[in-house]
Amino acid sequence: MPRLAAILVVLPLLLLSLSAVVGTAASLPRGGFGFEATLRHVDADAGYTNAQLLARAVARSRARAATLQSLATLAPGDAITAARILVRASDGEYLMDMGIGTPPRYYSAILDTGSDLIWTQCAPCLLCVDQPTPYFDPAQSATYRALGCASPICNALYYPLCFQNVCVYQYFYGDSASTAGVLANETFTFGTNTTRVAVPSISFGCGNLNAGSLANGSGMVGFGRGSLSLVSQLGSPRFSYCLTSFLSPVPSRLYFGVYATLNSTNASTSGPVRSTPFVVNPALPTMYFLNMTGISVGGYRLPIDPAVFAINDEDGTGGTIIDSGTTITYLAEPAYDAVRAAFVSQIRLPLLNVTEESVLDTCFKWPPPPRQSLTLPEVVLHFDGADMELPLQNYMLVEPVSGGLCLAMATSDDGTIIGSFQHQNFHVLYDLENSLLSFVPKPCNLI
């Protein structure tokens, strides 16, 4: 039996095993709410070498990019297709701690700016995957309430199901991972000791039937633009993060609500705040699209048609996404070819031969010969109303296996994805109320 068919056969058994009290979602007041949180890289403290960390990050990026690029080409109308949130559940990059229930039990969930649903694995678990914490047990929480089928938040699901007036969800992810269970309300606890807040009536997926991998986490927390995401449910439509390098043991920081300002740290600002508007892609409304207009290398604006970075109005393909779950940046093929050609012409080092399987294929022999001075070209990403001037460490890296100096970018068959490597050590603010992305350079390891 195909795996998907097996899931759909088991789902009725799951429904028969559930007993729940139906609850209703509560709205939260706007303004005056917020918290700070720590983000850990999924491979932190796992004992990997730098070479292994890089290889794992690049592999996750390649898989996630392939999935994101396939999203808009899906045929509409198919119920199973409509239920898919094609992100890579096992390929997120950062984990966020949160407490679930009363009393709270703490879990680490993959933070994902490319999806909406918040979910964790729950007991009784008919089919579950490995996670570092026990499964959440609704019977042990005083505030757990399953949602009824008439709940507006139930109708926000891509493919809502109903069993005995209990709202049931099922999500299928792009890496063949999946989760199915009851959509419920629960009290969630967020933040560090100094900013800890308990928020009632957060809607989440209590998954009793799950498959795939959770990359050292115990679930996912969606930070997308849809109504099921944490951002939408908390009613404070702004968050920011400052990401350290994935090679650094220092954790990153997340700021939410009133704490999400670019003046929220004591670190000195090393440049002006830049802002660019978000662009809505009707085919992928939950994603954070930007209007990218060009790229400069070594002070020279490359001859790239801005249409290369634009959304295709006919089918929603293409466009430029900023995504914390992808490490390296993927450029639409004409843009990547122009950037590669510029680097080859401006860096006077021999190119290294790379295999066809290599994601990083613009690599130079390193270190340079003795007594040879070398100047590496500056890179600027141009957006509508804002330029992102990348520090050297945000676009070049030494590949540990070959020892080559490589451009931390790759080619894409469809669309452009600005990955976390390019905006590490920037404080990045997502302001959904004003539909703006703002950023400023910051030493993220110091805040």
| Each residue's pLDDT tens digit, 386-439 | 999 999 999 998 887 778 899 999 998 888 999 999 999 999 999 999 999 999
Lowest-pLDDT choice from 6-10, 346-350, 358-362: 6-10
Domains defined for the chain, CATH in brackets: 3-16+33-257 (2.40.70.10), 274-446 (2.40.70.10)
Q: Is the pLDDT of residue 152 over 60?
A: yes
Find which of 59-63, 76-80, 243-247 is predicted with most confidence, using mean pLDDT: 243-247
Interval 113-150: pLDDT, tens: 888 899 999 998 888 888 889 999 999 999 999 999 99
- Does residue 173 or residue 277 have the better pLDDT? 277
112 is catalytic: yes
Instruction: Point out the catalytic residue in the list 323, 361, 414, 431.
Output: 323
Tell me the pLDDT tens digit for each residue of 87-99.
Answer: 444 456 899 999 9
Catalytic residue among 112, 116, 175, 414: 112
What would the 3-class secondary structure string for the chain be? CCHHHHHHHHHHHHHHCCCCCEECCCCCCCCCCEEEEEEEECCCCCCCCHHHHHHHHHHHHHHHHHHHHHHHHCCCCCHHHHCECCCCCCCCCEEEEEEECCCCEEEEEEEECCCCCEEEEECCCCECCCCCCCCECHHHCCCCEEEECCCHHHHCCCCCEEECCEEEEEEECCCCCEEEEEEEEEEEEECCCCCCEEEEEEEEEEEEEEECCCCCCCEEEECCCCCCCHHHHHCCCEEEEECCCCCCCCCEEEEEECCCCCCCCCCCCCCCCEEEEEECCCCCCCCCEECEEEEEECCEECCCCHHHHCECCCCCCECEEECCCCCCEEEEHHHHHHHHHHHHHHCCCCECCCCCCCCCCCEECCCCCCCCCCCCCCEEEEECCEEEEECHHHCEEECCCCCCEEECEEEECCCEEECCCCCCCEEEEEECCCCEEEEEECCHHHC
Listed range (57-71, 118-132, 148-162, 243-257) with the worst mean pLDDT: 57-71
